Amino acid sequence: MSTSASGRGAVGTVPPPHGGHDEPAPIKAVKLRHPWRNVFAVVLVLILVLFVLDAAQRPAYDWPTVAKYLFDRRVSQAALVTLELTALSMLFAIIIGVILAIMRLSPNPVVKSVAWFYLWIFRGTPVYVQLVFWGLIAIIYQTIDVGIPFTEPWVSFDTADLIPVFWIAVIGLSLNEAAYMAEIVRAGLLSVDAGQDEAATALGMSWSQTMRRVILPQAMRVIIPPTGNEVISMLKTTSLVTAVPLTTELYSRTRDISAETFNPIPLLIVASIWYLFFTSVLMVGQYFLEKRFARGIGDRPDAGPGPIVGTPATGVLPAVVQDPTIGAKQGGDAR
C-alpha cells in the first residue's frame, strides 16, 4: 500500500488537496441509505411498545401486588441473604481458586494432579446436584470427630448442629465456583510475562512477595473481567440453594410468599427486579475495578517503547553513528 514516507494522504479517504490549502475540504457525497435497517428498527420499537402497553394492563401480572411486595420487609431481608451468599461464596471461591491455580502450576506432579482432579469433579457435575449432596452431608457424615484416625475420637460434633444450613449453602456454592475461578486465575497468572518474575526474583524478592506485589496485580487485569461475570452468575446461582434446602434467600422467599397469595407471577417479577438491580450495580462496580487495574497498562499509547527487536544489535560504533543532535545532553561527550 502506501510505501512512501509522504503517503499519509493516500491512506485516508481524503483526496489530496488541490492548491496549497492545508485544510482539505470535507467530502460531499450522497449518503448510502439503509432502508431495511430502518424498517427493522421501527418494527422492533412497535413490538416493544405493544408489549409494554399490553403488560401494563394485563391482570396476570398483577402490578399492584408487585408494588406491594417489592419493598416488603421479608423480601428485602431475603435479598440481603442473597447478597451475603453471593459475597461469601465468591470470597471463598476466589481464595480456593487462587490456591488451586497455583497448585496447577506447581512443578510437583502430585500437587498438580490433585488440583486437576478437583476441577474434574466440580466442573463435571451440575451445581444443583452438588448442592443436594451438600444438603445431605449431615446424613452422610453424621458426626465430625476430632482425634487420631481409627481410634476413639477426643471430641465428636453432630454435623447438623455444627454447620448451619446457610453455611452449607456457602460451602456448596464456593467449592463449585472455586473450580471455575481456578481456571480464570491460572489464565491470569500465565498472562504475565516471565521477565516480571525474573526481575522480581533478581531483586531478592521471595516467591510470595513476587506473587503479591508483581504477578497478581498484573494478572488482575486478565482475572477481573471474567470474575465479574462469575459474580453476576453466582448471584443468580444462589437461587439454586433451595436444593440444600436453604429457603431464606430471594427466590425461595418470594416463592414461599406466592404460596400464601396463590399468585406466583407478581412475586417472580419482584424477585427479577431485585436480581436485575443487583446485577446492574455489579456491572458498574466491575467497570471501575477494570479501570483501576489497567493502571499504567491500559492507556498505552500506540508509540510505545522501542520495539523489542529479535535481531542482535549490529555493533553500533558510538563515536561515528551517534547522532549528536539526539540525546546530545548525555551522548555528546568524547567517544
Partner 1 sequence: MTDVNAAPAPAASAAEVPMVLAEGVSKSFGSNQVLKSISLEVKRGEVMCLVGPSGSGKSTFLRCINHLEAVTTGRLSVDGQLVGYREAGGKLYELSPKDAARQRRDIGMVFQRFNLFPHMTALENVMEAPVLVKGTPKAQAKARALELLDRVGLADRSDYYPAHLSGGQQQRVAIARALAMDPKLMLFDEPTSALDPELVGEVLDVMKGLAQSGMTMIVVTHEMGFAREVADSLVFMDGGVVVETGPPREVLANPQHNRTKAFLSKVL
Residues that bind partner 1 (CB under 8 A): 193, 195-196, 198-207, 209, 213-214, 217-218, 293, 295-297, 299-301, 304-309, 312-319, 321-323, 326-327, 329-331, 333, 335
Q: Between residues 64 and 296, which has the closer beta carbon with respect to partner 1?
A: 296
Give the separation between CA 175 and CA 163, rounded to whole angstroms.
Answer: 16
Q: How far is the CB of 250 from partner 1 (least distance, A)?
A: 38
Q: How far is the CB of 137 from partner 1 (least distance, A)?
A: 39
Report d(CA 249, CA 169) in Å as an integer.
11
Nearer to partner 1, 51 or 207 (CB): 207
Taking a C-beta distance cutoff of 8 angstroms, is the pair 196, 215 a contact?
A: yes
Q: Compute the least distance from the CB of residue 193 to partner 1, in Å.
A: 7
Cis ω for the linkage preceding 107 (within 30 of 0):
no
Q: How far is the CB of 114 from partner 1 (least distance, A)?
A: 22
Cα separation, 169 vs 134, in Å, equals 8
Our CB check for partner 1 shows the closer of 13 and 314 to be 314
**In the structure grid, which three cell numbers stand for residue 142, read together?**
453424621
If the CB atoms of residues 126 and 327 are measured against partner 1, the closer one turns out to be 327
Other CB atoms within 10 Å distance of the CB of residue 222: 18
Q: How far is CA 180 from CA 93, 166, 221, 242, in A?
A: 9, 22, 17, 22
Cβ-based nearer residue to partner 1, 16 or 318: 318
Q: How far is the CB of 181 from partner 1 (least distance, A)?
A: 21
